[in-house]
C-alpha cells in the first residue's frame, strides 16, 4: 500500500492489470527540459573555466649557467615550460623571455610573474608585442651545453646562457 501511494504522489498512474506508466507531462519534461538544463550547465561551466585563464607553470632549470657581462650575477634563475626553446630568465628584479628558436628576447613585466615555490606562473599572453633589440646573437653547442649569447640593445650588456643538451644533441629545455 505504501508503494502504491508513493507512485501516485510522484506522477505514475497505476491502473489494474497495467504496468505503471509516466504521466504525459512528466514525459515531456524528461525528454525536453532535462537535456536543455544539462546543456546550459555544461555551457556555463566551460565559459567559467575559459574566463579564469590558468597560467602555465614555468619550472626551474636544474643545471644552467648565466653570465651577465662575463660575470655571474648574484641573483638569477632560468625557467622552462613544455614548449622547447622558450626560457624565462630571472635576472635580479628583471624577467626576460628568451626564444632561442626565433632568436628574440622580450622584457617581461615582473608584476605578471607569480612565484610558486621554486617555480613561477606566467602566461605567454602577457608577452610584449615588440622584442628587445638583440644584435650579435650567437648559438652553439659546447660539449654537453648549448651556449646562447646576445647583446641587449645596440651597445648594451651581454647576456650568456648555458643550457644542458640531451644525449641526442637536442636542447633539454
* Structure confidence by residue, pLDDT tens digits, 12-36: 555 555 555 656 666 555 556 655 6
Kindly report the average pLDDT of the chain as a whole number.
81
Question: What pLDDT does residue 51 have?
Answer: 41
- For residue 26 the three cell numbers come to 512528466
Where do the domains of the chain lie? 2-51, 57-164
The CA radius of gyration of the chain, in Å to the nearest whole number, is 30
Beta bridge partners of 160: 67, 149
Model confidence at 154: pLDDT above 90:
no
Q: Looking at residue 153, what is its pLDDT?
A: 87
- Region 145-164 average pLDDT: 92
Average pLDDT of the segment spanning 65-90: 93
What pLDDT score does 172 carry?
Answer: 77
- pLDDT of 147 above 70: yes
Amino acid at each position: 500500500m505504501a508503494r502504491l501511494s508513493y507512485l501516485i504522489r510522484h506522477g505514475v498512474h497505476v491502473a489494474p492489470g497495467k504496468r505503471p506508466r509516466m504521466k504525459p507531462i512528466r514525459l515531456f519534461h524528461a525528454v525536453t527540459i532535462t537535456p536543455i538544463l544539462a546543456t546550459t550547465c555544461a555551457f556555463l561551466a566551460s565559459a567559467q573555466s575559459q574566463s579564469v585563464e590558468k597560467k602555465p607553470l614555468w619550472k626551474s632549470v636544474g643545471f644552467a649557467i648565466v653570465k651577465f657581462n662575463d660575470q655571474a650575477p648574484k641573483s638569477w634563475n632560468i625557467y622552462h615550460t613544455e614548449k622547447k626553446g622558450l626560457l624565462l630568465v630571472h635576472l635580479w628584479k628583471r624577467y626576460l623571455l628568451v626564444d632561442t628558436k626565433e632568436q628574440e628576447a622580450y622584457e617581461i613585466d615582473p608584476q605578471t610573474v607569480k612565484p610558486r615555490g621554486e617555480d613561477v606562473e606566467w602566461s605567454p599572453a602577457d608577452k610584449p608585442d615588440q622584442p628587445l633589440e638583440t644584435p650579435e646573437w650567437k648559438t652553439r653547442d659546447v660539449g654537453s651545453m648549448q651556449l646562447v649569447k646576445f647583446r641587449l640593445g645596440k651597445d648594451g650588456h651581454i647576456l650568456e646562457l648555458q643550457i644542458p643538451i640531451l644525449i641526442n644533441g637536442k636542447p633539454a629545455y
